[in-house]
Amino acid sequence: MPLKRSPPINPSTSRSPSLQHCDSEPNLKSSECEAYINTAVRKRKFSNNLSHQFSAIQDKFTDMFMSLKSEEDSKLSKILDYVGNIKQQNDDIREFITFMSEKYDTLLSSVQSLQDENKAYRNVGRKN
């Protein structure tokens, strides 16, 4: 028993053979030219504004780095001034310590000579 499995041809459900779309996407264009024109319109236009924005951002970064550099330079110069002052104070302290050490040595030698003189007088007084 032969079975026919194809549905009967009905003019309302028949499709034209040139269309290759699906029913789920009825808005597909049938010609490539139509599709190209439609997508070309939807594309975002390239503008030179992007290069201006890039240069503006670059200028902002340059300004930020220059201001940061000037702030850091001023801080560094202050630190160098403080270090210079500390070095000068250290040199002054070193000179003072050297001077005091020499005076101490002089004082120590004069005390030693006075003690020797005192012993000599004691020895002379005992002999007499």
Q: What is the mean pLDDT of residues 37-48?
A: 60
Q: Say which residues have a Cβ less than 8 Å from residue 22's Cβ, sequence separation at least 6.
A: 28
Token reading at 5: 């499995």
More confident position, 14 or 103: 103
Residues 6+ apart with CB under 8 A from 13: 7
Instruction: Answer whether 0.75 is exceeded by the pTM.
Output: no
Q: What is the per-residue pLDDT for 32?
A: 56
Give which of 44, 40, 43 is closest to 29, Cα–Cα. 40
Residue 105 has pLDDT above 90, yes or no: yes
Residue 76 has pLDDT above 60, yes or no: yes
Q: How buried is 47 (Cβ within 10 angstroms: 0-12 exposed, 13-18 middle, 19+ buried)?
A: exposed
pLDDT of residue 24 exceeding 80? no
